[in-house]
Every structure is written in structure tokens, then in C-alpha cells.
Amino acid sequence: MISTTIQNNIEDWKFDLQCFAEADAGAGDPTPPTNTNPAPAGGGDPTPPAGNNLGDPAPGTKSLLGAEPKAGAPDAYDDFKLPDNVKWDETTGSEFKTAAKEMGLSQENAQKLVDLGAKIVGGQESAMQKMVTDQSEAWQKESLQQFKQGDIDTANKALMQFADKDVIGLLQSTGLGNHPLIVGLFNNIGKAMAEGTMPTGAGQAVPSRLYPNSPGMYE
């Protein structure tokens, strides 16, 4: 009889433990969920993302309004500034202005291209002038080795008598005034003048040289 009573008590205890376990499982995780967007400490709504307020664009963006308008091509370009040694060609300049307007260049940007072009032209002229100077110096060295100072003086006298200022300027600007052939030519002219005879060349007589179509005129 006693054993039967103990057995009944054990069964009651199992039933109570089973009910307690089921009730505990239905309660779920007691840890509360984490708030991914907590309210600020002072209360109120969370801070909205940047760019939602007027006048406060998101980082990295530009406002379409309120910015300075881009400078485009003017209706007509003003005269461009050029170095003193560069002259403005009207035909080429007109073509440049047309091209600059088609590309939408402002006056400032077009001036930058003009400055660059003038710099390139100036560099080319400097290189050309150096080449002429170097060649003239080389010719002068050859002439000084080939002719005496008296021959050069004689050539100068003949040059001054027969050549005008344009010819003299051409010989000086191109360096040809130092060329041995030019110095020798005017040296021969000067010597012929001193001797009172007309200079001839290539073995021809004076009349046949002056009148090649009438060789017998002075026979």
C-alpha cells in the first residue's frame, strides 16, 4: 500500500515538471531586440540622412541652381594681346575666332590659345634666326681664310657703288654678305673698276655677253 502511494507521488511530480518545461519553452528568448535606430538622448526623432534638408545637399553633389554660370563664347571676341614681334594676320585670325566660337571658348581661354601659338611661333623664329646666324658665321670664317682684308675692302667698295639699301639689307639679314662666292664676286667687280675695264665672265667678250643674239654687231 505504501509503495503504491509513493508511485503515485512520483507520477504527479513528473507531470508538474513537464508542464513547467512547456510553459518555459513558450516564453521565448528573454533578451529584448536591439534597436537599430535609437532615439537621441534628448528625445525626439532620429537625425534624417544628409541631403533631405533644403540648402544642405548630400556630400559629393552639386546644386543645379545657385552656382556661377559657366563662361561661354562671347558674341564677338575682343582684340587679342600679342607680343611685339608677332603680327596678327587678319585672315588666319578670323578663322581662329570662328573655330574658337564653335568650340565655345571664352575670351580668356581663347587668349590662352593665342599666347601658346605666339610662344610656338616665337620659338620657331628663334631657332630659324640661330640657324641663319650659325651659317653666316661659318661663311665668314671661310671668307676670311680665302680673302685678304684688302680684297674684302675692294668688294665693299663695289657693293656700295652698285647695290642699293635693299640689296645690302638682304645680304646682311640672310648672312649672304659673308658667303665666299658673294665676297669673291664683288671683289672681282671692284678690281675691274680699278683697272678701268668692264668685268666679263665665262670667257665671253663684252659685246657678245651684252648682246648674245647679235654676236657680229661689234665685229
Per-residue pLDDT of the chain (219 residues; tens, 9 = 90+): 545 555 555 565 555 555 555 555 555 555 555 555 555 555 555 555 555 555 555 666 676 777 666 667 888 888 888 887 777 778 888 888 888 888 888 888 888 888 888 888 777 777 888 898 999 999 999 999 999 999 999 999 999 998 899 999 999 989 999 999 999 999 999 999 887 665 554 444 444 444 455 454 444
Cα–Cα distance, 157 to 193 (Å, whole number): 10
User: In whole angstroms, how far apart are CA 59 and each of 46, 53, 99, 198?
Assistant: 20, 13, 38, 93
> What 8-state DSSP symbol labels residue 217?
T
Residue 132's closest CA among 120, 140, 143, 142? 140
pTM of the predicted model, to two decimals? 0.44
Q: Count of alpha carbons within 13 Å of 15, Cβ hemisphere only?
A: 6
> What distances in angstroms separate CA 4 from CA 7, 8, 11, 12, 141, one per listed residue?
5, 6, 11, 13, 145
| Alpha carbons 192 and 151: distance in angstroms, whole number | 12
| Whole-number Å distance between alpha carbons of 177 and 143 | 10
Domain spans in the chain, listed from the N-terminal domain onward: 77-133, 147-199
Give the separation between CA 163 and CA 153, rounded to whole angstroms. 15
Residue 89 is predicted with a pLDDT of: 78
Burial class (CB in 10 A: 0-12, 13-18, 19+), 75: exposed
Residue 163, number of CB atoms within 10 A of its CB: 14
pLDDT of residue 145: 94
Note whether 183 and 155 are within 8 A (CB): yes
Query: Rounded to the nearest 10 degrees, what angle do helices 149-162 and 165-174 cross at?
Result: 140
pLDDT value, residue 210: 44
